[in-house]
Structure 1
Amino acid sequence: MTLPDGVERRSFGEKEGLATRGEPVYGEPTDGAWRRWDPRRSKLGAMLENGMETGLSGGETVLYLGAAAGTTVGHVADFASPTYAVEFAARPARDLLSVAESRRNLFPLLKDARKPETYAHVVEPVDALIQDVATRGQAKVALANRRFLREDGRLLMAIKARSEDVTADPDAVFETVLGSLEDGYEILETGPLAPFHEDHLAVVARPR
């Protein structure tokens, strides 16, 4: 597994972990300019810790769906180029704005990821579409936002089984969502996000 440029594995006291260079966001341990990327608070961080081939090399243009308070997208902006961060809820979006203050390449958008037409006039074509949304219809969101992804780009998605259907067996949910994704994506790799996140499946895909 190749880490993107700008992401390193470093020691923070007795703990070793992935790290990016940037202003701290959520009280994470630091080592000089480096800050630890906590995989228990980040689906993308867990994907990298679990050795998935994300296709990220550093310097990508990114559209991040479900940015919340900026925990993960702050790390992404540390090693990426322009990073568009879509968040629907006003309260976490205020924290996201604070994260963006020290990252001139991070552009928060208070928008609904289910309605990409509301931000299509802002977002340029991207190399990576990163999705971490807690809603039903997660495949529909990924398909709707496929319009922004370059032909050789990557979808990096965390499927949240309990957000899709709290009563269904997670494996059945994953199978259904993956089947829907194949309408617009070629699935390259999947993997559970355990032990960091239960009932989550990570997906790496490219547009068809």
Structure 2
Amino acid sequence: MTATPLADGGDGHLPDGVEPRTFDGDQRLATRGEPVYGEPVQDGWRAWDPGRSKLGAMLGRGVETGFAGGDTVLYLGAASGTTVSHVADFAGPTYAVEFAPRPARDLVRAAESRPNLFPLLKDARKPATYAHVVESGVDVLFQDVATRGQGEVACRNRQFLADDGWLVATIKARSEDVTGPTEVTFGHVVETIESEYEVVTTERMDPLHEDHLAVVARPR
């Protein structure tokens, strides 16, 4: 997939450790680290495909996510490690929660070259099952869990987030309600999130990620 142009206005919204780099004539965001899914690599920088990563798409579009280099991160819905491996390239301790065993095996492989990436085969809807592992006061809670009750997942995991931290969530409308109007579905999820957070930004992720909404919020 061809990358979308990076947002104008400089790269001040990018965390330290994420840079625009040129790959085969196209400018792409990139991080330094071992490649995990065959992405282009140049001088130690691995391209970040916005079509495979909703966080990559957000950063490429200039969304201010609150991520900073060296942050402690709790990542919910890590899947096979495509995005969380990039996060671990620039962040500090990164706890990656994934419930499905098959992608979790790939996640473990992605973590082998990243000593700061900690895979957890757990259910993000049940934070009590990993509360003994994840430190409190994380800087960023990133949520990419494609399940019904996405707002509730964000609220249940609020306990791990520092009071001055950031929630960055990607809401998949069809996982929440298969038949309902997309905007109505987004509204219901955001309303739930607002019970624990103050929403700073919302942005649709089309066309790279159809029927997805990016939500950036701060704890109340």
Same fold flag (TM > 0.5): yes
TM-score calculated relative to the size of structure 1:
0.99
Shift of 1:56: 1.2
The residue identity in structure 2 corresponding to 1:7 is: V
Residue 39 (structure 1) aligned to one of 34, 47, 50: 50
Find the aligned partners of 1:8 and 1:195 in 2 and give their Cα distance. Answer: 23
Distance in 2, Cα, partners of 1:49 & 1:15: 13
Asked whether 1:16 is paired with 2:27, we answer yes
Instruction: Please point out which of 158, 161, 169 is paired with 1:146.
Output: 158
SS in 2 for 1:121: coil
Cα shift at 1:32: 1.8
Deviations 1:151-193 (A, max 9, x none): 0000000000010011011101100001111100000001011
Asked if 2 retains the 8 angstrom alpha-carbon contact of 1:62 and 1:128, the reply is yes
Question: TM-score, normalised to structure 2's length?
Answer: 0.93
Contact map agreement 1:131 1:156 (CA 8 A) in 2 = yes
Deviations 1:35-73 (A, max 9, x none): 000011011111111111111121100000000000000
Which of 96, 103, 108 is 2:114 aligned to? 103
Aligned to 1:172: 184
Equivalents in 2 of 1:50, 1:8: separation in Å?
13
The percent of aligned pairs where both chains have the same amino acid is: 68
How far residue 14 of structure 1 moved from its aligned partner, in angstroms, is 1.9
Letter in 1 for 2:83: T
Alignment RMSD:
0.7
How many residue pairs were aligned?
A: 208
Q: 1:193 aligned to 181, 198, 205, which one? A: 205
After TM superposition, what 4+ stretches of structure 1 lie above 2 angstroms from structure 2? Answer: none
Query: How many angstroms apart in 1 are the aligned matches of 2:121 and 2:13?
Result: 32
Consecutive unaligned residues of structure 2, counting only runs of 5 or more, are 1-11
Q: CA separation in 2, counterparts of 1:25 and 1:173?
A: 34
2: CA distance between counterparts of 1:16 and 1:28? Answer: 14
Deviations 1:7-56 (A, max 9, x none): 00000012211000000011111112100000110111111111111111
